[in-house]
Structure 1
Amino acid sequence: MPIVTEDAAALPGGYRHIVLSPHLDDAALSCGGLIARATAAGEPVLVVNVCSGSPPPDAQFSPFAQSLHERWGLPPDAVVSHRRAEDAVALRVLGADALLWPALDAIYRRSDAYHDETSLFAVPAVDDPLRGVVIDLVALLARRYPQADFYLPLAVGMHVDHQLVFTAATAALLDAGAAVAYYEDFPYARQAGAVAQRLALIGHANLAPRLVPLDGALLAAKIAAITAYASQLAALFGSAEAMPAAVTAYAAQVAQPPLSYAERLWVRL
């Protein structure tokens, strides 16, 4: 049975792959095939859900946060616990362990700065505390798992939490000399030109694509895992029914012959 814990000290040694997931769904959405492939080969995977903390019981939610709760169909006092439960099911499908870090999602952490869709997908606030949180967290993981490969969001789509994890974790991991690869944030990567636009923004001369081959079984495992995030599917794909086709189409789009399906990473040269 996969481990799900809030205590990094309770984790075992020996992880070969560590995936930093800004939210409680990003790892499965973006690299669920990679995770399933690794665990099927007997290679332990740890998913670190960075922004999985619960707002305090007396939290006053902004109108924007309330509108998202309504879109997800979740009561405000149970949003995070419900999403944690969804994630536990998804990662059990993929065979990965999970570390639940108590950082707050942007809409709870800085409701003054991230108060609508436009500000949530813009330049992060200069004094956003998530930067320091990610640097300390990643430095801890890199010391404990020096042989692990780390996977970070490329921040396609420009969600502020994805951008902050990208920049802060990159700095900490390069300083530690760790192996780093970037996954294409799905479903944002589906948008025409979105990946190319992000690569142009960050400067991609030192990055090269690497495909992760997926067969039918691995693709099915990824889709099954994503299905667990029932509260998010309508917002992400229009409907739960539309999700499998969207996932399959993108996996086929990034694959190159003789592959039928793949996920694409970007690795440092």
Structure 2
Amino acid sequence: MAESAGFVSRPKELHPELFPGGTPSDAAVPVRLPHYRLQGEALYFLTSSNPLARLDEGERRVWEAIDGQLSVCALRQRLGTDLDRALLRFIDLSLCELVPGAHPAGRQRVVVLEPHMDDAALSVGGIMWLRRRECEFHIVTLVGVTNFTTQITIGRDYFDPETVSGLRRDESVLWARHVGACHYTHPLREAPLRFSDEPWTLAWYQRNKKAVGAFVNHTAGPEEHQDWAALIEKTILELKPEQLWVPLGLGYHVDHELTRNAFLGLALEKPWLFKGLELYCYQDVPYAAIAPFHADQLIQALEGAGATFEEQRVDITQVMNLKLQLLTLFRSQFKIDPIRRKVEACGSKLAQTPEGYAEVMYRVLALPDCRVEQAATVAIGRRVQDLARKMAPWFERNHDAAQIRILVAVGVGRWAEDVTFLLESFPYTSFEIYLPEDCLIEAEALTSARIVTVPVDKRWKSWFANAVRILVRHPGPCVLISGADDDKQKKIADALGAVSIGSDTLVALTMNQLVLALRTVRSLVD
């Protein structure tokens, strides 16, 4: 008998009241985990061909009868003595959960906005568990259409949005039932699907993953903000919460950024929507560990625009293990050990004791009374400001240049938007853009007589060699987009820009940084 792929959900610890005397209570509701399929006499995990557990005839009857609605009592009446033996085995193998059949009445109505179907659990799962008896949580996921699972990491062709979205909804609903919450989704598509909504295959993804990744980490335009803001407004009007929890939008993922910016834009344009509401912003986990400086930077920028916050750290030390157990329900998205380390890192940083864990929310006492510059809110904001200072004199010298060469080592992300902005910013300039061969799909989004795209080898060393050759042979204004996050490559790229004889060279990490810096410079010039 195989164990369940290392997952460690323990319903008996989560809800001991549902196991009086060690057996499931009549009122409990069994729910099958949505990742397992019964084929013949065995259960399999998603696309795996290795049987996870073999079931006898009685166990198969129980598995097929569990529908997530019938209580243990109702199932016992239907199945008799087969139920308890099979159910306890399913629970021990982490194939099935028991959730409460009822929750206290009169709880405070709290809407928790999340970009993706796991963000609330990762970020404030401990607080929600602690407050489940006093708060009636309504978890609202803005991105309801997705095609991402960890199957991609093991080379499986598992990209159908309808299948994957359904699986992720089932995960989220099951998690929500543990904390007595309701779960809803809006029909927005996740960032990778906005890059391309054509049918994906594994070969297509492997060929274009650099371009997809650049899109995911690229700031969005105003049209998307409006779409997301409209759904947040719809949520508030329909659910009428007493409290609203919104992510700070930490890190580099555009969907988190969009959620925060849509909320801020809505608060500025329609402040009456939030009248009488208790507003909270929560720290995005695990992005708070990936960009540990971002929360302070963002709070400072918002306070500069008139906002006032009260930081509230909630000790979750006693329930941290339960939080991690519940995260195992999202097993289409991550293995528990890698995500556990990031979740624990975020929690321990906030705790008041060395062995403790905490989650943080910021109560919004006053909303911003003016618009915050986008470059001040993004995780790369300081890098954008640094580049803008260098770019200002470079732009002054080259805004009417006949030709500018751009050497890109990574994906652009939003080719049509960025190239259009470059053409507008340099109206007399033709561009020669050297693009890695595995990012050429981006150039299909927009063509222009003033744009020449030159494919180059995708390896960073080849990019470096091309940069040297072009800087030596073709003096003139040039932009190097190195994509170099590690110190060694960044120093090499900066050195190239500093020593290029006869070339007026600007070095950026990404096209996103370049465009945000250019917008900053133009706002000052215009």
Structure 2 length normalisation: TM-score? 0.41
* Residues 83, 111 of structure 1: alpha-carbon distance in 2 compared, 3 angstrom cutoff: same
Match of 2:153 in 1: 71
Instruction: Tell me, in whole angstroms, the C-alpha distance in 1 between the residues paired with 2:135 and 2:145.
Output: 28
Deviations 1:160-184 (A, max 9, x none): 1111111212343544123221111
Instruction: Tell me, in whole angstroms, the C-alpha distance in 1 between the residues paired with 2:169 and 2:149.
Output: 20
CA contact (8 A) 2:195 2:212 kept: no
Identity %: 24
**Greater alpha carbon shift after TM alignment, 25-34 vs 132-141:** 132-141
CA contact (8 A) 1:36 1:94 kept: yes
Pairing 1:25–2:118 present:
yes
Instruction: Tell me, in whole angstroms, the C-alpha distance in 2 between the residues paired with 1:53 and 1:248.
Output: 29
What is the one-letter code of the residue matched to 1:209? E
Match of 1:212 among 287, 294, 314: 314
Question: By how many angstroms is 1:253 displaced?
Answer: 1.7
Deviations 1:196-217 (A, max 9, x none): 344345456623321123241x
CA contact (8 A) 2:248 2:284 kept: yes
Question: By how many angstroms is 1:144 displaced?
Answer: 4.0
SS of match in other structure, 1:256: coil
Pairing 1:125–2:236 present:
no
CA contact (8 A) 1:30 1:184 kept: yes
Pairing 1:103–2:195 present:
no
* Residues 66, 157 of structure 1: alpha-carbon distance in 2 compared, 3 angstrom cutoff: closer
Instruction: Tell me, in whole angstroms, the C-alpha distance in 1 between the residues paired with 2:236 and 2:294.
Output: 30
Question: By how many angstroms is 1:259 displaced?
Answer: 9.6
* Residues 245, 160 of structure 1: alpha-carbon distance in 2 compared, 3 angstrom cutoff: closer
The count of aligned residue pairs is 242
CA contact (8 A) 1:17 1:151 kept: yes
Structure 1 unmatched runs, 5+? 4-11, 55-64, 234-238
Match of 2:338 in 1: 242
Match of 1:155 in 2: 249
Match of 2:168 in 1: 83
Match of 2:523 in 1: none
Match of 2:279 in 1: 180
Question: By how many angstroms is 1:242 displaced?
Answer: 3.4
Instruction: Tell me, in whole angstroms, the C-alpha distance in 2 between the residues paired with 1:258 and 1:126.
Output: 43
SS of match in other structure, 1:76: coil
Question: By how many angstroms is 1:262 displaced?
Answer: 1.5
* Residues 79, 144 of structure 1: alpha-carbon distance in 2 compared, 3 angstrom cutoff: closer
Question: By how many angstroms is 1:31 displaced?
Answer: 0.8
* Residues 37, 138 of structure 1: alpha-carbon distance in 2 compared, 3 angstrom cutoff: same
CA contact (8 A) 1:214 1:263 kept: yes
Pairing 1:252–2:252 present:
no
* Residues 188, 66 of structure 1: alpha-carbon distance in 2 compared, 3 angstrom cutoff: closer
What is the one-letter code of the residue matched to 1:47? I
Match of 1:94 in 2: 179
What is the one-letter code of the residue matched to 2:324? I
CA contact (8 A) 2:108 2:134 kept: no
CA contact (8 A) 1:214 1:261 kept: yes
Question: By how many angstroms is 1:195 displaced?
Answer: 2.6
Rg larger in structure: 2
* Residues 268, 252 of structure 1: alpha-carbon distance in 2 compared, 3 angstrom cutoff: same
Instruction: Tell me, in whole angstroms, the C-alpha distance in 1 between the residues paired with 2:338 and 2:310.
Output: 31
Match of 2:135 in 1: 43
Deviations 1:48-87 (A, max 9, x none): 0110136xxxxxxxxxx78986138561122222222222
Question: By how many angstroms is 1:30 displaced?
Answer: 0.7
SS of match in other structure, 2:223: coil
What is the one-letter code of the residue matched to 2:220? P
What is the one-letter code of the residue matched to 2:120? A
Match of 2:299 among 190, 199, 209: 199
Structure 1 length normalisation: TM-score? 0.76
SS of match in other structure, 1:98: strand
CA contact (8 A) 1:21 1:48 kept: yes
Instruction: Tell me, in whole angstroms, the C-alpha distance in 2 between the residues paired with 1:198 and 1:81.
Output: 34
**Greater alpha carbon shift after TM alignment, 90-99 vs 22-31:** 90-99
* Residues 82, 74 of structure 1: alpha-carbon distance in 2 compared, 3 angstrom cutoff: farther
Question: By how many angstroms is 1:22 displaced?
Answer: 0.5
* Residues 47, 32 of structure 1: alpha-carbon distance in 2 compared, 3 angstrom cutoff: same
**Greater alpha carbon shift after TM alignment, 66-75 vs 194-203:** 66-75
Match of 1:166 among 242, 248, 260: 260
Q: CA RMSD in A?
A: 3.4
**Greater alpha carbon shift after TM alignment, 167-176 vs 67-76:** 67-76
